[in-house]
Amino acid sequence: MSQSAVEVIRAKRDRRALTDEQIDWVVAAYTRGDVADEQMSALAMAILLNGMDRREISRWTDAMIGSGIRMSFPPESVGGRPTTDKHSTGGVGDKITLPLAPLVAACGAAVPQLSGRGLGHTGGTLDKLESIPGWRATLTRDEMLAQLADVGAVVCAASDDLAPADKKLYALRDVTGTVEAIPLIASSIMSKKIAEGTGALVLDVKVGSGAFMKDLDSARELARTMVALGSDHDVRTVALLTDMTTPLGLTAGNALEVRESVEVLAGGGPPDVVELTLLLAREMLAGAGITDVDPADRLADGSAMDAWRRMIAAQGGDPDATLPTARETSVVPAPADGVLAGLDAYAVGMAAWRLGAGRARKEDPVQAGAGVEMHAKPGAAVRGGEPLFTLHSDDTDRFAGAEEVLAEAVVIVPEGDRPDLPGLVLDRVAE
């Protein structure tokens, strides 16, 4: 066994393409425990340095999927609805799944959204939803099917038997400096989404300081790789590259973002959150073959809000319950008069993390009410001394650390020097 692992490592070390048999064997053997962590670490580093071609990445993804179960949601099992899903590579204030899933369901599709929890400066969808009293993340497959047939949308945790090879390899990459390997990022994301059983997929690839991919070229390469994997596995896939130099919306934090999402479903909310929700909804519906419904109409007529309430109630949550609030707040004023030219997403995410909204380790608890409330976005006029941020936390001793990082987040310019701000969508990738 050990000698076979060494042969695979040497092949990739020497810039040779791995054979299908080598890929199948090494992924299965690592999942079983027959390939040691140090051997898979060496292979992951060789992949990071020397890359993989399209066939290799597709086969690696196949092997990851094959390590566990593959779910299926044929239309007859979900009330005749076609399935479609969205995946975001993660950002600050990225609460889009919350209004998006019920909105797309209100338009006639089924959305089987398997989501995760946050780690570091980016928030997790499940953490946000778990701030709703009574809501539960864990469902059986039968519960998922019943909810998809009835409501049309479900957001829940993935089971441990969905691409277990990915779970093991992801943890290893995190501690060996190989997280950035695009073949491994793409296969990690797509193995879970393909195993989830959706018929169409829209990828929201974030670009900028608050995103995993900091520059447009790397983000475009990742998007192209994932779109190709979708095509290779008969999942209709498109990707939008969207800006994450500035946080989405006006909140970063769990209950704060739920509150803002409900505002969007009620017909209000920040313009950028509404814009991205509608853009992604239209892409998801097109992938599902639904072209005769405008999701903007479903926001306006209240049917998206109805679907949200039913989705939350179906998973034990009370859509009318008062959301948690932090015990303490602290206002951070604007340092000067002028125009807000920059609001660094990473710094805002780190501030929310320091306030208790995120976690450093998977087992850490989060504060449901903690986070950052923003009173202005880039392009807005600000006045020195007026509120720029409101910080929320249960612990007053957390405020100083959050204020420290936010001091580096803000760029204010004179009124006459208004910035040229990027658009929300930077590119679209499809095959």
Count of beta carbons in the 10 Å neighbourhood of residue 188 = 22
- Specify whether 188 is catalytic: yes
- Tokens 């109630």 -> residue: 313
Please identify which of the residues 88, 115, 188, 261 carries the catalytic annotation.
Answer: 188
Q: How far is CA 348 from the centre of its chain?
A: 17
Is 344 noted as a catalytic residue in this protein? no
Choose, from 12, 86, 87, 224, the residue flagged as catalytic: 87
- Residue 82: CA count within 13 A, CB half-sphere: 15
User: What value, to the nearest 5°, has the Cα angle with vertex 364 and ends 358 and 367?
Assistant: 50
Q: Is 297 a catalytic residue?
A: no
Separation in Å, CA 330 to CA 151, 247, 302: 40, 20, 35
Positive or negative: CA dihedral 207, 208, 212, 214: positive
173 is catalytic: yes
For residues 26 and 1, what is the distance between their CA atoms, to the nearest angstrom?
10
Residue 285 DSSP class = H
Q: Smallest Cα–Cα separation from 315: which of 98, 134, 110?
A: 134
Phi, psi of 128 (to 5 degrees): -65, -50
- The DSSP code for 398 is G
Q: Is 394 a catalytic residue?
A: no
Catalytic residue among 94, 166, 204, 344: 166
DSSP helix/strand/coil, 361: coil
DSSP class of residue 132 equals: S
What are residue 82's phi and psi, to 5 degrees? Answer: -75, 150
Rg value, the chain, Cα: 22
Neighbours of 293 (CB within 10 A): 16
DSSP for residue 110:
B
Going by the DSSP 8-state scheme, the letter that residue 83 receives in this structure is: B
CB atoms within 10 A of CB 301: 12
Closest CA to 43 of 52, 32, 33: 52
Task: Choose the catalytic residue: 121, 192, 224, 298.
Answer: 192
Q: Show Cβ contacts of residue 404 under 8 Å, excluding neighbours closer than 6 positions.
A: none
What whole-number distance in Å separates Cα of residue 122 and Cα of residue 359? 9
CA distance 270 to 292: 26
- For 168, the token pair is 């093991």
Select which of 12, 173, 233, 236 is catalytic: 173
Q: Would you name the residues annotated as active-site residues?
A: 87, 166, 173, 188, 192
